[in-house]
Amino acid sequence: MSIPTYALVAFSNSGKTTFLEKFIPALKSRGLRVAVIKHDGHDFQLDKEGKDSWRITQAGADVTAIVSATHAAIMENRPTPLPDIVERIQDVDLRIVEGGKYENWPKIMLYRVAAEKPMAAEPDECFAIVTDANITTTVPVFGLDDAEGLADLIYRTIK
């Protein structure tokens, strides 16, 4: 069975990460194993200059991995499509992509009036909406503080 994947979509500085900080514990309290993939439209820097893994990457490794007793990271030092990375994540009950609005996953749109940004998707094309605005739509709408309500919907949908 394929792992359910949802895209949490909104423009930068709209509150996606803030909502995830409430939503992830709500999902975990239901016994779900959750993966979150952060899509970054910029050229982020994961490694620290001068560290061994950075030096290996600088030497030209196409893939650099670092593993400890409690963490692991694989750095793809080449263009890798977001869906390919998401599909590699296994042994979880749910994957949430922070971003990925152009991908073909059910969308949870976050829209906050104070962010003064447009909606990142058409409301009726979303799986659910998290907002502080009055939006007329046929899909479920949750308040910005209602991570529990959305977690209930996700749980009922995937279980």
Has residue 59 been placed in a domain? Answer: no
Highest mean pLDDT among 13-17, 30-34, 44-48, 59-63: 30-34
* 3-class SS letters over 24-59: HHHHHCCCCCEEEEECCCCCCCCCCCCCHHHHHHHC
Token pair recorded at residue 66 = 């670092």
Number of folded domains that form the chain: 1
Mean pLDDT of 58-81: 92
Q: Which domain holds residue 9?
A: 5-44+79-158
128-131 vs 5-9, strand pairing mode: unpaired
Has residue 10 been placed in a domain? Answer: yes
Q: Which pLDDT score, from 0 to 100, does residue 1 have?
A: 65
Q: Which pLDDT score, from 0 to 100, does residue 39 have?
A: 82
Has residue 63 been placed in a domain? Answer: no
As a whole number of angstroms, the distance between CA 108 and CA 120 comes to 10
CATH number at residue 23: 3.40.50.300
Has residue 153 been placed in a domain? Answer: yes
pLDDT, tens digit, 9 for 90 and up, residues 2-15: 999 999 999 999 99
Tell me how crowded residue 137 is: count the other CB atoms within 10 A of its CB.
15
Residue 29, judged by CB atoms within 10 A of its CB (0-12, 13-18, 19+), counts as: exposed
Has residue 152 been placed in a domain? Answer: yes
